[in-house]
Amino acid sequence: MDNTKCQFCDEDISVQARICPHCQKTQYVAEEINSMAYNIVFYQYFLIKAAIILVCFVLAWWAGLIAIAVATIISLIMANSIVTNYPPFLIVELFEKSKKSFYIELVIVLVLIVLVIIYFVKKSSDI
């Protein structure tokens, strides 16, 4: 039977074990860790990226598209950096922490979107 180390307590467990019998924590496969790393970057920089993209769309539609592409590329690079530089247990902890502040930032972004819509409506009515 093949054994591996637990991602959290470093005890020997079966390769097929999904939950560690020692610390009772779920073991994550590489795809789940990669997804968590991308979500960490998404959650942590959501407000900044959304604000920059909105400003770019106000300036010109094509600038907004370029901002989306650049933000996506930077997010992928940062997520890859997290996966290669941090152990899985730390990625899980960062993911849980970053998820909590995301909802506050989401409300702020929605307010920004409403302000941009108001700006465009006023601008179009002035013409």
Q: Does 68 score more than 80 pLDDT?
A: yes
Q: What is the pLDDT of residue 3?
A: 85
Which residues, 6 or more positions from 126, have their beta carbon under 8 angstroms from its beta carbon?
A: none
Q: Which of 58, 54, 62, 50 is nearest to 120 (CA)?
A: 58
- The least confident of 25-29, 105-109, 123-127 is 123-127
Q: Taking the domains of the chain in order of start, what are their residue ranges?
A: 30-126
Q: What is the pLDDT of residue 67?
A: 87
Whole-model pTM? 0.64
Backbone angles phi, psi at 13, to 5 degrees: -140, 165
- Band of the pLDDT at 1, cuts 50, 70, 90? low
The rounded distance, in Å, linking the Cα atoms of 111 and 94 is 27
CB of 13 within 8 A of CB of 20? yes
The rounded distance, in Å, linking the Cα atoms of 89 and 10 is 10
**Which phi-psi region, left, alpha or beta, contains residue 10 (left: φ > 0; alpha: ψ -120 to 50)?**
left
Q: Does 16 score more than 80 pLDDT?
A: yes
Grouping H, G, I as helix, E, B as strand and the rest as coil, residue 3 is strand
Q: For 87-103, how does the pLDDT look when each residue is reduced to its tens digit (9 = 90+)?
A: 888 888 888 888 777 77
CB of 71 within 8 A of CB of 49? yes
Share of the chain above pLDDT 70, in %: 98
Mean pLDDT of all residues in the chain? 84
Q: Where are the beta strands (DSSP E) in 9-124?
A: 12-14
